[in-house]
Amino acid sequence: MSVAPRQTTVNVIPCLRYRDAPKAIEWLCETFGFTKQMVVPGENNTVMHAQLSFGNGMIMLGSAASIDSEYSKLIKQPDEISGAATQTLYIVVEEADAFYARAKAAGCEIIMDIKDEDYGGRDFTCRDLEGHVWTFGTYDPFA
C-alpha cells in the first residue's frame, strides 16, 4: 500500500461550513473571484456540498446546518468560539494590494493590515462575512 499523494491538480482542499452557504458562495465568487465548480443544493436553502475553484486550488463548503452528521459535529463556527479560528486559509495571488482593496470594499474586517513579510511576499488577513479567517498574499513557497 502506497502512502504517496495521488497525482492530481491539488492535494490539499480546505473545507468550510457557513450558516448561509448560498450567500457565502455568491460573496466568495464576487469578492475574491472564486468560480463555482459544483454546488449541490439541500433542503430549505442549504448547500449539501459545494466546490469553488481558484486558479489550481479549491475550497469545499456546505451549510453548517445541512447535515447532522458525525463530521459536522466536529466543526464550530467562529461566532460559537468567540470569533476564534482553528485554521486559516492562505490564498496565493498575483497582486495583494488589489485583493486588499476588494476586501475592504466588500466590508471585510481587516485583522492584519497589508504588509511586506520578512520571509518574502506581501499579504493581509481578513474575516469573511461569517468570520472565517483568510490571508491573501503573494508569497509562493514553491517559487
pLDDT for the residue numbered 73: 79
Model pLDDT for residues 34-84, shown as the tens digit of each residue: 999 999 999 999 999 999 999 999 999 999 975 567 777 788 889 889 988
Whole-model pTM? 0.90
**What pLDDT does 16 receive?**
94
Model confidence at 26, in pLDDT bands (50, 70, 90)?
very high
* pLDDT tens sequence across 79-125: 889 988 888 999 999 999 999 999 999 999 999 999 999 999 999 99
Task: Kindly give the pairing relationship between strand 57-63 and strand 133-137.
Answer: unpaired
The whole-angstrom separation of Cα 123 and Cα 77 is 24
Would you state the cell numbers that stand for residue 131, as one nine-digit string? 468570520
- Report the distance separating Cα 104 and Cα 58, nearest Å: 23
